[in-house]
Amino acid sequence: MAESAAFLRARQALADLLSEWELCWLSWPSSNLARQLAQAPHAWFEVPVQPGPVWAQQLQAFFLSQKQEQPLLLVLEAPHDLERLRRLQQLAAPLPWLLVILLDPVGYLAPVPASGGWFQREPKEPAYAWSSWLRQFQLEFWGSFALEEPKQAAERLEAFMEGTGRRLLHLYAPPVPQPEMANRPGVRLLSKDTLESAFLEQFQVPDNARLIWCAGQPPADALLIHPEQAGSAAWGVHQAGFFPVLAMSAAMIGPALADLLPGLPPGCLVLILEAGLCWEPGQSHLSPSRLRDLALLRQVHGLALACPADVQEALQFAQMSYATQTPMAVRLTQAPAVLTGLSKSPPQAGRSHMLRPGQHAAILALGPTVYAALLAAEALSSWGLECQVWDIRFLKPLDRDALAQAALTGHLLTVEEHCLQGGLATMVLETLSQLELNAKVHHLALPATPPIENGAPAEEFGLDADGIQKAMRKLLGLVSPESFV
């Protein structure tokens, strides 16, 4: 994945400065420049360990097993590597000779002089949350220096490298000025006729938030992160005092899962892009992660999963995440962008919404399949069949009261643009079992096997109005109007 220009420039500037030093041990987890510098004839660089779930323990074991005649230089990048610094703090035996360079390519942390103070942008603003535990980490702060002033940075780096102990140096690039909220353009992606693109056209990133991008070409003001670092990046932005907005392609959920599993910050919005029936250029079959993104994200601790039926709901879910400070993933698909106005009131957290009453059966629809479910229910009424239609809204947590009410009909049909395993169908069956409720349940979903070929429409899998009403008639054993009593 391509890196943002700001990160590439900052990394190269620091690499040029480090090339003047004969360092024994260098760890730069977020960049491969350390390996490139290892080939330089005038210096000896080595990457002792690769970053992973037990990165800090590996780093400690490596360094303490050496003679410790040379310091360990650790290059961390703000904001996504701040979580690594926290992990180092948790070590039982802190590294005695540690030099930390905090590289800040996009100016996330305000520069402060070496004589005092901690990272705080303005006197009127509260100090960043991570500053308190950075003090506890017992790192001597050596000030902030601009990468645009290489001579001054080099002089400070020379003093920083001499002696022993535990030190931290902040090297930053000036932040890019952000436009006012009213003048800030929305993120644009794909065409304007899908749920996802219509949402991104209207979605605005609040001033107190930072956009983290893990899905192709990022907007100009976004931080581009590898999927494997998505969770750590969100925590880093949170520790810096901002609300993280993490935009990720559904195809990248698999690689990102290990970093997401421990949980996300208490205030965090995750935008799942390109979910469901969406193919990349030249791709012959649907990516498995697009089929199973909800099943995978269900495993993330404390993360709510919202599946909007239309653009209005998607924007309301995003606003709910800000207002409640609840980590929430909003799933956006390539379904047609219909503005149904299904609900006259804002959605409630964790609650489903009944769009149509009925006593014979209930259709539980997730995401953009809701509109097709409504059309199917209208068609079924000509058979004398009155079906409830539910906009499920939240897969996690699933609304148990709504499910209990729907189960009273005795017949449930779940509809989702997701594979059968781990999605709405699975959640409904699990919850019915826990509630000890009996109902006959049928499902409409995407097949996990065989692989879905490029361009296959939703109609092929019965996820349209005609397919839904046919599935409901089959559920009820209804062949003709006369057979229904």
Rounded Cα distance between 396 and 163, Å, is 53
Own/partner long-range contacts of 133-140 (Cβ < 8 Å, ≥24 apart): 133/86, 133/89, 134/85, 134/168, 136/89, 137/85, 137/88, 137/89, 137/94, 137/166, 138/94, 138/166, 139/98, 139/100, 139/166, 139/167, 139/168, 140/165, 140/166, 140/167, 140/168
3-state DSSP helix/strand/coil percent for the chain, to nearest 5? 35, 20, 45
Instruction: Report the candidate in 88, 78, 136, 145 with the shortest Cα–Cα distance to residue 111.
Output: 145
From the number of C-beta atoms within 10 Å of its C-beta (0-12, 13-18, 19+), residue 163 rates as exposed
- The single-letter DSSP state of residue 280 is -
Instruction: Report the candidate in 290, 3, 10, 288 with the shortest Cα–Cα distance to residue 175.
Output: 10
Residues whose CB falls within 8 Å of the CB of residue 55, separated by 6 or more in sequence, listed in order:
29, 49, 84, 87
Crossing angle of the two packed helices 5-18 and 150-161, in degrees rounded to 10:
50
pLDDT at residue 42, rounded to an integer: 44
Ranges of residues in the chain whose predicted pLDDT is under 50: 1-3, 41-43, 114-131, 133, 176-192, 481-485
Instruction: Report the candidate in 340, 282, 331, 284 with the shortest Cα–Cα distance to residue 310.
Output: 340
pLDDT at residue 222, rounded to an integer: 81
> Strand 394-396 relative to strand 361-365: parallel, antiparallel, unpaired?
unpaired
Token pair 């520790």 in the structure block, residue? 239
Residues whose CB falls within 8 Å of the CB of residue 302, separated by 6 or more in sequence, listed in order:
263, 264, 327
pLDDT at residue 121, rounded to an integer: 35
pLDDT at residue 342, rounded to an integer: 63
> Residue 417 has which token pair?
């643009």
pLDDT at residue 187, rounded to an integer: 32
Q: In DSSP terms, which residues pair with 397 in a beta bridge?
A: none
From the number of C-beta atoms within 10 Å of its C-beta (0-12, 13-18, 19+), residue 50 rates as exposed
Rounded Cα distance between 344 and 366, Å, is 19
Residue 457: strand, helix, or coil: coil
Instruction: Report the candidate in 230, 256, 255 with the shortest Cα–Cα distance to residue 245.
Output: 230
- The single-letter DSSP state of residue 139 is P
Domains of the chain, earliest start first: 5-172 (3.40.50), 181-333 (3.40.50.970), 353-483 (3.40.50.920)
How does 304-332 read in b/e, with b if 16+ C-beta sit within 10 Å? bbbbbbbbbbbbbbbebbbeeebbbbbbb
pLDDT at residue 424, rounded to an integer: 96
Q: What is the pTM of this model?
A: 0.65
pLDDT at residue 53, rounded to an integer: 59
Rounded Cα distance between 309 and 74, Å, is 46
pLDDT at residue 268, rounded to an integer: 93
Residues whose CB falls within 8 Å of the CB of residue 365, separated by 6 or more in sequence, listed in order:
309, 372, 373, 389, 390, 391, 392, 414, 415, 416
- Find the radius of gyration of the CA atoms of the chain: 26
pLDDT at residue 168, rounded to an integer: 82
Q: In DSSP terms, which residues pair with 443 in a beta bridge?
A: 414
Quick one: which H or E segment has residue 142?
strand 140-146
Rounded Cα distance between 89 and 59, Å, is 12
Rounded Cα distance between 48 and 63, Å, is 8
Contact 349, 324 (CB under 8 A): yes
pLDDT at residue 195, rounded to an integer: 81
Instruction: Report the candidate in 182, 181, 163 with the shortest Cα–Cα distance to residue 99.
Output: 163
With the C-alpha atoms ordered 29, 127, 246, 199, is the resulting torsion angle positive or negative? negative
Phi then psi for 329, rounded to 5 degrees?
-105, 130
Contact 118, 127 (CB under 8 A): yes
